[in-house]
Amino acid sequence: MMHLIEGGGKRLRATLPWLVGKAVGDSHSGLLDIGAAIEIVHNFTLVHDDIMDDDDTRRGLNAVHIEYGLPTAINAGDAMLAIAFERLVGAKGLDHKDVGAMVNRLAWMVRRVSEGQQLDIEFEDRIAVSEEDYFEMIEGKTAVMFLTCAEVGSRMAGADDETIQCMADWGLAVGLCFQLMDDLIDVLSDSDTLGKPAGSDLAQGKRTLMVIHALSQSDSSELDNLKAVLGKGEDATQEEIDLGLLALNKIGSVDYAREKAEMYHSKAHACLDRLPDSPAILALRELTDYQLKRIS
Amino acid sequence: MMHLIEGGGKRLRATLPWLVGKAVGDSHSGLLDIGAAIEIVHNFTLVHDDIMDDDDTRRGLNAVHIEYGLPTAINAGDAMLAIAFERLVGAKGLDHKDVGAMVNRLAWMVRRVSEGQQLDIEFEDRIAVSEEDYFEMIEGKTAVMFLTCAEVGSRMAGADDETIQCMADWGLAVGLCFQLMDDLIDVLSDSDTLGKPAGSDLAQGKRTLMVIHALSQSDSSELDNLKAVLGKGEDATQEEIDLGLLALNKIGSVDYAREKAEMYHSKAHACLDRLPDSPAILALRELTDYQLKRIS
Protein backbone atom coordinates (compact mmCIF):
# COMPACT_ATOMS: atom_id res chain seq x y z
CA MET A 1 0.00 0.00 0.00
CA MET A 2 2.89 2.36 0.68
CA HIS A 3 4.87 1.53 -2.48
CA LEU A 4 3.51 4.25 -4.80
CA ILE A 5 2.89 6.70 -1.99
CA GLU A 6 6.55 6.51 -1.04
CA GLY A 7 7.34 7.08 -4.73
CA GLY A 8 6.14 10.65 -4.29
CA GLY A 9 3.72 12.04 -6.81
CA LYS A 10 2.43 15.58 -6.83
CA ARG A 11 0.02 15.05 -3.91
CA LEU A 12 -2.23 17.69 -5.43
CA ARG A 13 -5.40 15.98 -4.23
CA ALA A 14 -4.08 15.75 -0.69
CA THR A 15 -3.57 19.50 -0.51
CA LEU A 16 -6.46 20.80 -2.56
CA PRO A 17 -9.39 20.54 -0.13
CA TRP A 18 -7.44 22.45 2.51
CA LEU A 19 -6.18 25.02 0.01
CA VAL A 20 -9.62 25.60 -1.49
CA GLY A 21 -11.01 25.89 2.03
CA LYS A 22 -8.46 28.61 2.77
CA ALA A 23 -9.35 30.39 -0.46
CA VAL A 24 -13.06 30.64 0.28
CA GLY A 25 -13.33 31.16 4.02
CA ASP A 26 -12.42 29.92 7.43
CA SER A 27 -11.22 26.50 6.37
CA HIS A 28 -12.05 23.44 8.52
CA SER A 29 -9.89 21.30 10.76
CA GLY A 30 -10.84 18.08 8.93
CA LEU A 31 -9.77 19.16 5.44
CA LEU A 32 -6.28 17.64 5.63
CA ASP A 33 -7.85 14.31 6.62
CA ILE A 34 -10.31 14.59 3.76
CA GLY A 35 -7.46 15.43 1.39
CA ALA A 36 -5.60 12.38 2.70
CA ALA A 37 -8.67 10.22 2.00
CA ILE A 38 -8.92 11.50 -1.59
CA GLU A 39 -5.15 11.11 -2.15
CA ILE A 40 -5.39 7.51 -0.90
CA VAL A 41 -8.25 6.90 -3.34
CA HIS A 42 -6.12 8.43 -6.10
CA ASN A 43 -3.23 6.10 -5.26
CA PHE A 44 -5.59 3.12 -5.12
CA THR A 45 -6.76 3.95 -8.66
CA LEU A 46 -3.13 4.10 -9.84
CA VAL A 47 -2.40 0.65 -8.41
CA HIS A 48 -5.40 -0.87 -10.20
CA ASP A 49 -5.09 1.24 -13.38
CA ASP A 50 -1.51 0.08 -13.91
CA ILE A 51 -2.81 -3.50 -13.92
CA MET A 52 -5.72 -2.67 -16.23
CA ASP A 53 -3.51 -0.66 -18.59
CA ASP A 54 -0.62 -3.13 -18.37
CA ASP A 55 1.81 -0.38 -17.35
CA ASP A 56 4.97 -1.68 -15.70
CA THR A 57 6.33 1.53 -14.20
CA ARG A 58 4.96 4.46 -12.25
CA ARG A 59 6.74 7.35 -10.58
CA GLY A 60 10.03 5.84 -11.70
CA LEU A 61 9.29 2.68 -9.73
CA ASN A 62 7.97 -0.70 -10.68
CA ALA A 63 4.18 -0.70 -10.69
CA VAL A 64 2.82 -2.48 -7.60
CA HIS A 65 1.78 -5.59 -9.55
CA ILE A 66 5.28 -5.84 -11.01
CA GLU A 67 6.93 -5.37 -7.62
CA TYR A 68 4.61 -7.55 -5.55
CA GLY A 69 2.60 -9.62 -8.04
CA LEU A 70 -0.93 -9.31 -9.36
CA PRO A 71 -2.91 -10.73 -6.40
CA THR A 72 -1.15 -8.50 -3.87
CA ALA A 73 -1.63 -5.43 -6.07
CA ILE A 74 -5.36 -6.03 -6.47
CA ASN A 75 -5.72 -6.71 -2.77
CA ALA A 76 -3.61 -3.74 -1.67
CA GLY A 77 -5.75 -1.43 -3.80
CA ASP A 78 -8.92 -2.80 -2.22
CA ALA A 79 -7.56 -2.25 1.27
CA MET A 80 -6.49 1.30 0.37
CA LEU A 81 -10.04 2.11 -0.64
CA ALA A 82 -11.29 0.83 2.71
CA ILE A 83 -8.67 2.89 4.54
CA ALA A 84 -9.72 6.01 2.61
CA PHE A 85 -13.25 5.67 3.99
CA GLU A 86 -11.91 5.04 7.50
CA ARG A 87 -9.82 8.17 7.20
CA LEU A 88 -12.74 10.20 5.91
CA VAL A 89 -15.15 9.38 8.74
CA GLY A 90 -12.31 9.92 11.22
CA ALA A 91 -11.70 13.46 9.91
CA LYS A 92 -10.99 15.94 12.68
CA GLY A 93 -14.01 17.96 13.75
CA LEU A 94 -16.37 16.37 11.23
CA ASP A 95 -19.95 16.99 12.36
CA HIS A 96 -22.35 14.02 12.62
CA LYS A 97 -24.73 15.67 10.21
CA ASP A 98 -22.03 16.01 7.52
CA VAL A 99 -20.67 12.44 7.60
CA GLY A 100 -23.32 10.91 5.34
CA ALA A 101 -22.95 13.55 2.63
CA MET A 102 -19.14 13.28 2.73
CA VAL A 103 -19.12 9.49 2.46
CA ASN A 104 -21.67 9.68 -0.32
CA ARG A 105 -19.50 12.18 -2.16
CA LEU A 106 -16.36 10.05 -1.85
CA ALA A 107 -18.23 6.91 -2.91
CA TRP A 108 -19.80 8.80 -5.84
CA MET A 109 -16.32 9.96 -6.83
CA VAL A 110 -14.94 6.40 -6.76
CA ARG A 111 -17.88 5.16 -8.84
CA ARG A 112 -17.46 7.96 -11.38
CA VAL A 113 -13.73 7.17 -11.65
CA SER A 114 -14.62 3.53 -12.35
CA GLU A 115 -17.16 4.58 -14.97
CA GLY A 116 -14.56 6.78 -16.67
CA GLN A 117 -11.97 4.02 -16.49
CA GLN A 118 -14.48 1.60 -18.04
CA LEU A 119 -15.07 3.95 -20.98
CA ASP A 120 -11.29 4.20 -21.36
CA ILE A 121 -11.05 0.38 -21.50
CA GLU A 122 -13.92 0.04 -23.97
CA PHE A 123 -12.72 2.83 -26.25
CA GLU A 124 -9.53 0.87 -26.97
CA ASP A 125 -11.58 -1.65 -28.97
CA ARG A 126 -13.77 0.94 -30.67
CA ILE A 127 -12.91 2.83 -33.82
CA ALA A 128 -15.64 5.44 -33.54
CA VAL A 129 -14.96 7.45 -30.40
CA SER A 130 -16.17 11.04 -30.51
CA GLU A 131 -14.77 14.11 -28.78
CA GLU A 132 -17.88 14.06 -26.63
CA ASP A 133 -17.14 10.46 -25.59
CA TYR A 134 -13.59 11.48 -24.74
CA PHE A 135 -14.66 14.31 -22.49
CA GLU A 136 -17.23 12.12 -20.76
CA MET A 137 -14.46 9.59 -20.13
CA ILE A 138 -11.87 12.01 -18.73
CA GLU A 139 -14.48 13.83 -16.66
CA GLY A 140 -15.06 10.56 -14.80
CA LYS A 141 -11.55 9.18 -14.84
CA THR A 142 -9.77 12.36 -13.80
CA ALA A 143 -11.76 15.54 -13.40
CA VAL A 144 -14.34 14.46 -10.79
CA MET A 145 -11.50 13.93 -8.32
CA PHE A 146 -10.43 17.58 -8.66
CA LEU A 147 -14.06 18.66 -8.66
CA THR A 148 -14.63 16.73 -5.43
CA CYS A 149 -11.55 18.20 -3.76
CA ALA A 150 -12.73 21.72 -4.61
CA GLU A 151 -16.37 21.19 -3.79
CA VAL A 152 -15.74 19.45 -0.48
CA GLY A 153 -13.08 21.95 0.50
CA SER A 154 -15.31 24.97 -0.09
CA ARG A 155 -18.39 23.34 1.44
CA MET A 156 -16.60 22.29 4.63
CA ALA A 157 -15.08 25.76 4.96
CA GLY A 158 -18.59 27.18 5.08
CA ALA A 159 -18.81 28.83 1.65
CA ASP A 160 -22.20 29.80 0.21
CA ASP A 161 -23.73 27.74 -2.61
CA GLU A 162 -22.62 30.12 -5.35
CA THR A 163 -18.99 29.98 -4.20
CA ILE A 164 -19.13 26.18 -3.86
CA GLN A 165 -20.41 25.94 -7.45
CA CYS A 166 -17.69 28.33 -8.58
CA MET A 167 -14.98 26.18 -6.99
CA ALA A 168 -16.53 22.96 -8.31
CA ASP A 169 -16.43 24.51 -11.81
CA TRP A 170 -12.79 25.40 -11.22
CA GLY A 171 -12.03 21.82 -10.14
CA LEU A 172 -13.75 20.38 -13.20
CA ALA A 173 -11.91 22.74 -15.59
CA VAL A 174 -8.52 22.13 -13.94
CA GLY A 175 -9.16 18.39 -13.98
CA LEU A 176 -9.99 18.38 -17.70
CA CYS A 177 -6.91 20.53 -18.37
CA PHE A 178 -4.86 18.12 -16.24
CA GLN A 179 -5.90 15.05 -18.26
CA LEU A 180 -5.43 16.79 -21.62
CA MET A 181 -1.94 17.73 -20.48
CA ASP A 182 -1.33 14.19 -19.20
CA ASP A 183 -2.10 12.88 -22.68
CA LEU A 184 0.09 15.57 -24.26
CA ILE A 185 2.97 14.82 -21.91
CA ASP A 186 2.86 11.15 -22.87
CA VAL A 187 3.42 12.28 -26.46
CA LEU A 188 5.88 15.11 -25.88
CA SER A 189 8.02 14.01 -22.96
CA ASP A 190 10.72 11.36 -22.69
CA SER A 191 10.61 8.14 -20.71
CA ASP A 192 13.08 9.27 -18.03
CA THR A 193 11.07 12.39 -17.22
CA LEU A 194 7.78 10.51 -17.29
CA GLY A 195 8.90 7.66 -15.08
CA LYS A 196 7.15 5.40 -17.63
CA PRO A 197 7.65 4.67 -21.35
CA ALA A 198 6.81 7.66 -23.59
CA GLY A 199 4.23 7.02 -26.30
CA SER A 200 2.79 4.05 -24.41
CA ASP A 201 -0.76 5.42 -24.74
CA LEU A 202 -0.44 5.19 -28.51
CA ALA A 203 0.84 1.63 -28.59
CA GLN A 204 -1.88 0.67 -26.15
CA GLY A 205 -4.55 2.15 -28.41
CA LYS A 206 -5.77 4.79 -25.94
CA ARG A 207 -8.32 7.11 -27.52
CA THR A 208 -6.84 10.44 -26.50
CA LEU A 209 -8.24 13.66 -27.92
CA MET A 210 -5.19 13.78 -30.22
CA VAL A 211 -5.92 10.33 -31.62
CA ILE A 212 -9.64 11.11 -32.02
CA HIS A 213 -8.78 14.36 -33.83
CA ALA A 214 -6.23 12.67 -36.08
CA LEU A 215 -8.54 9.79 -37.03
CA SER A 216 -11.17 12.33 -38.10
CA GLN A 217 -8.74 13.90 -40.63
CA SER A 218 -9.41 11.19 -43.15
CA ASP A 219 -7.54 12.87 -46.00
CA SER A 220 -4.17 13.02 -44.24
CA SER A 221 -1.34 10.99 -45.70
CA GLU A 222 0.11 10.69 -42.21
CA LEU A 223 -2.79 8.60 -40.95
CA ASP A 224 -1.23 5.31 -42.01
CA ASN A 225 1.71 5.86 -39.67
CA LEU A 226 -0.69 6.45 -36.82
CA LYS A 227 -2.89 3.47 -37.59
CA ALA A 228 0.19 1.24 -37.93
CA VAL A 229 1.07 1.66 -34.25
CA LEU A 230 -2.29 2.37 -32.62
CA GLY A 231 -3.18 -0.52 -30.32
CA LYS A 232 -0.22 -2.61 -31.41
CA GLY A 233 0.76 -3.07 -27.79
CA GLU A 234 4.08 -4.60 -26.86
CA ASP A 235 4.77 -5.54 -30.48
CA ALA A 236 5.17 -1.88 -31.40
CA THR A 237 8.79 -0.94 -32.15
CA GLN A 238 10.25 2.35 -30.97
CA GLU A 239 10.45 3.47 -34.60
CA GLU A 240 6.76 2.79 -35.16
CA ILE A 241 5.89 4.68 -31.99
CA ASP A 242 8.05 7.62 -33.06
CA LEU A 243 6.40 7.71 -36.51
CA GLY A 244 2.98 7.62 -34.89
CA LEU A 245 3.87 10.49 -32.58
CA LEU A 246 5.24 12.45 -35.53
CA ALA A 247 1.97 11.87 -37.38
CA LEU A 248 0.00 13.33 -34.49
CA ASN A 249 2.21 16.39 -34.70
CA LYS A 250 2.02 16.81 -38.46
CA ILE A 251 -1.76 16.33 -38.59
CA GLY A 252 -2.06 19.17 -36.09
CA SER A 253 -3.64 16.98 -33.40
CA VAL A 254 -1.06 17.93 -30.77
CA ASP A 255 -1.81 21.61 -31.32
CA TYR A 256 -5.51 20.89 -31.27
CA ALA A 257 -5.33 19.19 -27.87
CA ARG A 258 -3.07 21.91 -26.51
CA GLU A 259 -5.60 24.57 -27.53
CA LYS A 260 -8.32 22.66 -25.70
CA ALA A 261 -6.10 22.45 -22.62
CA GLU A 262 -5.53 26.21 -22.82
CA MET A 263 -9.27 26.77 -23.13
CA TYR A 264 -9.92 24.86 -19.88
CA HIS A 265 -7.00 26.66 -18.27
CA SER A 266 -8.73 29.97 -19.08
CA LYS A 267 -12.05 28.67 -17.84
CA ALA A 268 -10.43 27.69 -14.55
CA HIS A 269 -8.90 31.15 -14.16
CA ALA A 270 -12.27 32.78 -14.86
CA CYS A 271 -13.68 30.92 -11.84
CA LEU A 272 -10.85 32.09 -9.60
CA ASP A 273 -11.27 35.68 -10.83
CA ARG A 274 -14.67 35.75 -9.14
CA LEU A 275 -13.12 35.33 -5.69
CA PRO A 276 -11.29 37.99 -3.66
CA ASP A 277 -7.49 37.89 -3.78
CA SER A 278 -5.65 36.08 -1.00
CA PRO A 279 -2.48 34.02 -0.61
CA ALA A 280 -4.58 30.87 -1.09
CA ILE A 281 -6.16 32.17 -4.29
CA LEU A 282 -2.67 33.05 -5.54
CA ALA A 283 -1.61 29.46 -4.86
CA LEU A 284 -4.64 28.17 -6.78
CA ARG A 285 -3.74 30.47 -9.70
CA GLU A 286 -0.20 29.10 -9.72
CA LEU A 287 -1.53 25.58 -9.51
CA THR A 288 -3.81 26.30 -12.47
CA ASP A 289 -0.88 27.68 -14.49
CA TYR A 290 1.30 24.76 -13.46
CA GLN A 291 -0.97 22.37 -15.36
CA LEU A 292 0.14 23.91 -18.66
CA LYS A 293 3.81 23.96 -17.70
CA ARG A 294 4.35 20.60 -16.09
CA ILE A 295 6.41 18.00 -17.93
CA SER A 296 5.54 14.91 -15.89
CA MET B 1 -21.31 -5.86 -11.65
CA MET B 2 -24.51 -7.89 -11.94
CA HIS B 3 -22.88 -11.03 -13.38
CA LEU B 4 -22.25 -12.93 -10.14
CA ILE B 5 -25.22 -11.42 -8.35
CA GLU B 6 -27.50 -12.77 -11.09
CA GLY B 7 -25.75 -16.12 -10.61
CA GLY B 8 -27.53 -16.40 -7.29
CA GLY B 9 -25.50 -17.39 -4.27
CA LYS B 10 -26.88 -17.96 -0.81
CA ARG B 11 -27.39 -14.25 -0.05
CA LEU B 12 -26.82 -15.03 3.60
CA ARG B 13 -25.12 -11.70 4.28
CA ALA B 14 -27.97 -9.77 2.67
CA THR B 15 -30.49 -11.32 5.05
CA LEU B 16 -28.49 -11.63 8.24
CA PRO B 17 -28.54 -8.06 9.62
CA TRP B 18 -32.33 -7.95 9.31
CA LEU B 19 -32.76 -11.45 10.73
CA VAL B 20 -30.45 -10.78 13.67
CA GLY B 21 -32.29 -7.50 14.26
CA LYS B 22 -35.57 -9.42 14.44
CA ALA B 23 -34.00 -11.93 16.83
CA VAL B 24 -32.87 -9.35 19.37
CA GLY B 25 -35.52 -6.65 19.33
CA ASP B 26 -37.49 -4.21 17.31
CA SER B 27 -35.39 -4.44 14.16
CA HIS B 28 -34.68 -1.26 12.15
CA SER B 29 -35.96 -0.07 8.80
CA GLY B 30 -32.43 0.29 7.37
CA LEU B 31 -31.27 -3.28 7.99
CA LEU B 32 -32.17 -4.58 4.53
CA ASP B 33 -30.17 -1.73 2.99
CA ILE B 34 -27.26 -2.52 5.28
CA GLY B 35 -27.55 -6.19 4.37
CA ALA B 36 -27.52 -5.19 0.70
CA ALA B 37 -24.36 -3.16 1.27
CA ILE B 38 -22.61 -6.11 2.93
CA GLU B 39 -23.81 -8.53 0.23
CA ILE B 40 -22.45 -6.18 -2.44
CA VAL B 41 -19.11 -6.09 -0.61
CA HIS B 42 -19.18 -9.90 -0.48
CA ASN B 43 -19.78 -10.09 -4.24
CA PHE B 44 -17.03 -7.55 -4.87
CA THR B 45 -14.60 -9.76 -2.93
CA LEU B 46 -15.65 -12.77 -5.05
CA VAL B 47 -14.96 -10.87 -8.28
CA HIS B 48 -11.47 -9.90 -7.12
CA ASP B 49 -10.74 -13.19 -5.29
CA ASP B 50 -11.40 -15.20 -8.43
CA ILE B 51 -8.72 -13.16 -10.19
CA MET B 52 -6.27 -13.48 -7.31
CA ASP B 53 -6.93 -17.21 -6.93
CA ASP B 54 -7.03 -17.80 -10.69
CA ASP B 55 -10.45 -19.46 -10.45
CA ASP B 56 -12.33 -19.60 -13.76
CA THR B 57 -15.82 -20.46 -12.55
CA ARG B 58 -18.14 -19.30 -9.78
CA ARG B 59 -21.77 -20.17 -9.10
CA GLY B 60 -21.72 -22.33 -12.23
CA LEU B 61 -20.85 -19.29 -14.34
CA ASN B 62 -17.65 -18.01 -15.80
CA ALA B 63 -15.83 -15.83 -13.28
CA VAL B 64 -16.19 -12.14 -14.15
CA HIS B 65 -12.62 -11.83 -15.43
CA ILE B 66 -13.19 -14.81 -17.73
CA GLU B 67 -16.51 -13.45 -19.01
CA TYR B 68 -15.49 -9.80 -19.38
CA GLY B 69 -11.70 -9.73 -19.18
CA LEU B 70 -9.30 -8.78 -16.40
CA PRO B 71 -9.52 -4.96 -16.60
CA THR B 72 -13.31 -4.92 -16.51
CA ALA B 73 -13.38 -7.38 -13.61
CA ILE B 74 -10.99 -5.31 -11.50
CA ASN B 75 -12.89 -2.14 -12.34
CA ALA B 76 -16.33 -3.64 -11.74
CA GLY B 77 -15.21 -4.81 -8.30
CA ASP B 78 -13.94 -1.34 -7.45
CA ALA B 79 -17.25 0.23 -8.49
CA MET B 80 -19.19 -2.35 -6.46
CA LEU B 81 -17.28 -1.34 -3.35
CA ALA B 82 -18.18 2.30 -3.98
CA ILE B 83 -21.82 1.38 -4.49
CA ALA B 84 -21.84 -0.56 -1.21
CA PHE B 85 -20.87 2.60 0.67
CA GLU B 86 -23.48 4.63 -1.23
CA ARG B 87 -26.09 2.06 -0.28
CA LEU B 88 -24.98 2.06 3.34
CA VAL B 89 -25.25 5.81 3.89
CA GLY B 90 -28.56 5.81 2.03
CA ALA B 91 -30.00 3.19 4.40
CA LYS B 92 -33.62 3.91 5.32
CA GLY B 93 -34.05 5.69 8.62
CA LEU B 94 -30.33 5.79 9.43
CA ASP B 95 -29.72 8.44 12.09
CA HIS B 96 -27.04 11.12 11.46
CA LYS B 97 -25.25 10.12 14.63
CA ASP B 98 -24.94 6.47 13.51
CA VAL B 99 -23.60 7.05 9.98
CA GLY B 100 -19.95 7.47 10.98
CA ALA B 101 -19.87 4.31 13.09
CA MET B 102 -21.60 2.30 10.35
CA VAL B 103 -19.24 3.47 7.60
CA ASN B 104 -16.29 2.84 9.87
CA ARG B 105 -17.54 -0.67 10.54
CA LEU B 106 -18.04 -1.47 6.85
CA ALA B 107 -14.63 -0.04 5.95
CA TRP B 108 -13.02 -1.97 8.84
CA MET B 109 -14.69 -5.12 7.53
CA VAL B 110 -13.35 -4.56 4.00
CA ARG B 111 -9.86 -3.94 5.37
CA ARG B 112 -9.98 -7.07 7.53
CA VAL B 113 -11.13 -9.11 4.52
CA SER B 114 -8.14 -7.78 2.55
CA GLU B 115 -5.80 -8.62 5.40
CA GLY B 116 -7.18 -12.17 5.57
CA GLN B 117 -6.96 -12.52 1.80
CA GLN B 118 -3.35 -11.31 1.92
CA LEU B 119 -2.44 -13.98 4.49
CA ASP B 120 -4.14 -16.53 2.23
CA ILE B 121 -1.98 -15.38 -0.71
CA GLU B 122 1.22 -15.40 1.33
CA PHE B 123 0.57 -18.79 2.94
CA GLU B 124 0.65 -20.44 -0.51
CA ASP B 125 4.39 -19.81 -0.68
CA ARG B 126 5.08 -20.72 2.94
CA ILE B 127 5.68 -24.21 4.24
CA ALA B 128 5.30 -23.38 7.91
CA VAL B 129 1.74 -22.23 8.45
CA SER B 130 0.32 -22.92 11.89
CA GLU B 131 -3.26 -23.59 12.93
CA GLU B 132 -3.17 -20.21 14.63
CA ASP B 133 -2.13 -18.56 11.34
CA TYR B 134 -4.99 -20.34 9.59
CA PHE B 135 -7.60 -19.13 12.04
CA GLU B 136 -6.27 -15.57 11.86
CA MET B 137 -6.56 -15.78 8.08
CA ILE B 138 -10.13 -17.12 7.91
CA GLU B 139 -11.29 -14.79 10.65
CA GLY B 140 -10.37 -11.89 8.36
CA LYS B 141 -11.22 -13.43 5.02
CA THR B 142 -14.60 -14.85 6.00
CA ALA B 143 -15.73 -14.58 9.59
CA VAL B 144 -15.62 -10.81 10.11
CA MET B 145 -18.31 -10.42 7.47
CA PHE B 146 -20.68 -12.63 9.45
CA LEU B 147 -19.58 -10.94 12.67
CA THR B 148 -20.33 -7.53 11.13
CA CYS B 149 -23.77 -8.62 9.90
CA ALA B 150 -24.65 -9.86 13.38
CA GLU B 151 -23.15 -6.97 15.30
CA VAL B 152 -24.65 -4.27 13.09
CA GLY B 153 -28.02 -6.00 13.00
CA SER B 154 -28.28 -6.25 16.75
CA ARG B 155 -26.90 -2.77 17.38
CA MET B 156 -29.27 -1.06 14.94
CA ALA B 157 -32.21 -2.97 16.40
CA GLY B 158 -31.41 -1.38 19.75
CA ALA B 159 -29.99 -4.37 21.64
CA ASP B 160 -27.96 -3.84 24.82
CA ASP B 161 -24.18 -4.25 24.79
CA GLU B 162 -24.26 -7.77 26.21
CA THR B 163 -26.68 -8.96 23.52
CA ILE B 164 -24.65 -7.25 20.78
CA GLN B 165 -21.52 -9.06 22.01
CA CYS B 166 -23.45 -12.32 22.13
CA MET B 167 -24.57 -11.94 18.51
CA ALA B 168 -21.09 -10.83 17.39
CA ASP B 169 -19.71 -14.01 19.00
CA TRP B 170 -22.37 -16.01 17.16
CA GLY B 171 -21.39 -14.34 13.85
CA LEU B 172 -17.70 -15.07 14.42
CA ALA B 173 -18.36 -18.72 15.30
CA VAL B 174 -20.73 -19.25 12.35
CA GLY B 175 -18.23 -17.54 10.04
CA LEU B 176 -15.36 -19.78 11.15
CA CYS B 177 -17.61 -22.82 10.79
CA PHE B 178 -18.64 -21.56 7.33
CA GLN B 179 -15.04 -21.32 6.10
CA LEU B 180 -14.02 -24.68 7.58
CA MET B 181 -17.00 -26.21 5.76
CA ASP B 182 -16.10 -24.32 2.57
CA ASP B 183 -12.67 -25.94 2.68
CA LEU B 184 -14.20 -29.35 3.41
CA ILE B 185 -16.73 -28.99 0.59
CA ASP B 186 -13.92 -28.29 -1.87
CA VAL B 187 -12.46 -31.65 -0.85
CA LEU B 188 -15.65 -33.70 -0.51
CA SER B 189 -17.98 -32.39 -3.20
CA ASP B 190 -17.93 -32.76 -6.97
CA SER B 191 -17.34 -30.06 -9.56
CA ASP B 192 -20.95 -29.93 -10.79
CA THR B 193 -22.31 -29.34 -7.31
CA LEU B 194 -19.61 -26.82 -6.46
CA GLY B 195 -19.97 -24.78 -9.62
CA LYS B 196 -16.15 -24.81 -9.73
CA PRO B 197 -13.50 -27.55 -10.03
CA ALA B 198 -13.35 -29.81 -6.94
CA GLY B 199 -9.94 -30.07 -5.27
CA SER B 200 -8.80 -26.78 -6.77
CA ASP B 201 -7.68 -25.49 -3.35
CA LEU B 202 -5.19 -28.35 -3.15
CA ALA B 203 -3.71 -27.82 -6.61
CA GLN B 204 -3.47 -24.14 -5.86
CA GLY B 205 -1.55 -24.80 -2.66
CA LYS B 206 -4.11 -23.26 -0.30
CA ARG B 207 -3.18 -23.80 3.32
CA THR B 208 -6.47 -25.13 4.62
CA LEU B 209 -6.71 -26.53 8.13
CA MET B 210 -6.71 -30.01 6.55
CA VAL B 211 -3.44 -29.36 4.73
CA ILE B 212 -1.85 -27.81 7.83
CA HIS B 213 -2.93 -30.81 9.91
CA ALA B 214 -1.69 -33.31 7.32
CA LEU B 215 1.70 -31.63 6.90
CA SER B 216 2.21 -31.82 10.67
CA GLN B 217 1.81 -35.64 10.60
CA SER B 218 5.39 -36.11 9.46
CA ASP B 219 5.39 -39.90 9.89
CA SER B 220 2.53 -40.60 7.50
CA SER B 221 3.30 -42.56 4.35
CA GLU B 222 0.46 -40.71 2.61
CA LEU B 223 2.22 -37.36 2.83
CA ASP B 224 4.08 -37.85 -0.47
CA ASN B 225 0.80 -38.00 -2.38
CA LEU B 226 -0.30 -34.76 -0.79
CA LYS B 227 2.99 -32.97 -1.38
CA ALA B 228 3.04 -34.16 -5.01
CA VAL B 229 -0.06 -32.13 -5.86
CA LEU B 230 0.04 -29.26 -3.36
CA GLY B 231 0.62 -26.01 -5.24
CA LYS B 232 1.12 -27.75 -8.57
CA GLY B 233 -1.49 -25.49 -10.11
CA GLU B 234 -2.82 -26.16 -13.58
CA ASP B 235 -0.20 -28.85 -14.17
CA ALA B 236 -1.89 -31.10 -11.62
CA THR B 237 -3.66 -34.07 -13.20
CA GLN B 238 -7.05 -35.25 -11.94
CA GLU B 239 -5.38 -38.44 -10.70
CA GLU B 240 -2.84 -36.48 -8.67
CA ILE B 241 -5.61 -34.35 -7.19
CA ASP B 242 -7.63 -37.45 -6.31
CA LEU B 243 -4.61 -39.06 -4.63
CA GLY B 244 -3.99 -35.86 -2.67
CA LEU B 245 -7.61 -35.73 -1.52
CA LEU B 246 -7.43 -39.41 -0.54
CA ALA B 247 -4.30 -38.67 1.48
CA LEU B 248 -6.11 -35.95 3.43
CA ASN B 249 -8.81 -38.49 4.24
CA LYS B 250 -6.44 -41.30 5.24
CA ILE B 251 -4.28 -39.07 7.43
CA GLY B 252 -7.43 -38.07 9.31
CA SER B 253 -7.18 -34.40 8.35
CA VAL B 254 -10.71 -34.30 6.92
CA ASP B 255 -12.11 -35.64 10.19
CA TYR B 256 -9.94 -33.21 12.12
CA ALA B 257 -11.31 -30.20 10.21
CA ARG B 258 -14.87 -31.48 10.51
CA GLU B 259 -14.49 -31.76 14.28
CA LYS B 260 -13.32 -28.16 14.41
CA ALA B 261 -16.29 -27.09 12.30
CA GLU B 262 -18.59 -28.95 14.70
CA MET B 263 -16.93 -27.23 17.64
CA TYR B 264 -17.68 -23.77 16.19
CA HIS B 265 -21.17 -24.94 15.31
CA SER B 266 -21.71 -25.76 19.00
CA LYS B 267 -20.19 -22.46 20.06
CA ALA B 268 -22.59 -20.62 17.76
CA HIS B 269 -25.57 -22.48 19.22
CA ALA B 270 -24.43 -21.66 22.75
CA CYS B 271 -24.69 -17.96 21.85
CA LEU B 272 -28.22 -18.36 20.49
CA ASP B 273 -29.25 -20.34 23.59
CA ARG B 274 -28.78 -17.20 25.63
CA LEU B 275 -31.58 -15.40 23.76
CA PRO B 276 -35.35 -15.94 24.18
CA ASP B 277 -37.01 -18.18 21.59
CA SER B 278 -38.70 -16.53 18.62
CA PRO B 279 -39.29 -17.31 14.95
CA ALA B 280 -36.15 -15.31 14.10
CA ILE B 281 -34.02 -17.23 16.60
CA LEU B 282 -35.36 -20.46 15.13
CA ALA B 283 -34.27 -19.27 11.69
CA LEU B 284 -30.79 -18.44 13.06
CA ARG B 285 -30.60 -21.95 14.60
CA GLU B 286 -31.51 -23.50 11.25
CA LEU B 287 -28.99 -21.28 9.53
CA THR B 288 -26.34 -22.41 12.03
CA ASP B 289 -27.19 -26.08 11.41
CA TYR B 290 -27.25 -25.52 7.66
CA GLN B 291 -23.53 -24.72 7.72
CA LEU B 292 -22.75 -28.34 8.62
CA LYS B 293 -25.18 -29.77 6.06
CA ARG B 294 -24.56 -27.67 3.00
CA ILE B 295 -22.84 -29.22 0.00
CA SER B 296 -22.00 -26.08 -2.00
B7-33 pLDDT per residue, tens: 888 899 999 999 999 999 878 899 999
Please state, as a whole number, how many other Cβ atoms lie within 10 Å of the Cβ of residue B265. 21
Chain A nearest C-alpha distance from B122 (Å): 9
Name the strand (E) or helix (H) holding A61.
strand A61-62
Q: Does domain B11-289 have CATH number 1.10.600.10?
A: yes
Mean pLDDT of the A189-202 span:
77
Taking CB atoms and an 8 Å limit, are B78 and A82 in contact across chains?
no
CA distance B293 to B7: 22
Please give the residue that has the higher pLDDT: either A115 or A295: A115
**Mutate: best of B92, B95, B114, partner A, most A CBs <10 A:** B114
Residues A62, B81: contact at Cβ < 8 Å?
Answer: no
Q: What is the DSSP letter of B233?
A: G
pLDDT tens per residue, range A122-158: 998 887 899 999 999 999 999 999 999 999 999 999 9
Residues A22, A37: contact at Cβ < 8 Å?
Answer: no
Query: In terms of CATH architecture, what is A3-293?
Result: Orthogonal Bundle (1.10)
Please state, as a whole number, how many other Cβ atoms lie within 10 Å of the Cβ of residue A240. 18
Taking CB atoms and an 8 Å limit, are B79 and A115 in contact across chains?
yes
- What residues of chain B lie within 8 A of the CB of A52, using their CB? 70-71, 74-75
Taking CB atoms and an 8 Å limit, are B85 and A97 in contact across chains?
no
Taking CB atoms and an 8 Å limit, are A99 and B94 in contact across chains?
no
Ranges A63-72, A163-172, A222-231: which has the least confidence: A222-231
pLDDT tens per residue, range B45-80: 999 999 998 889 898 899 999 999 999 999 999 999
Chain B nearest C-alpha distance from A110 (Å): 6
Global pTM value: 0.92
Domain ranges of chain A: 3-293
pLDDT tens per residue, range B226-237: 999 998 988 999
Q: What is the DSSP letter of A28?
A: -
Burial code (b: 16+ CB inside 10 Å, e: under 16) for A57-93 equals: bbbebbbbbbebebbbbbbbbbbbbbbbbbbbbbbee
Reported as a pLDDT band with limits 50, 70 and 90, residue B244 is very high
Q: What is the DSSP letter of B235?
A: G
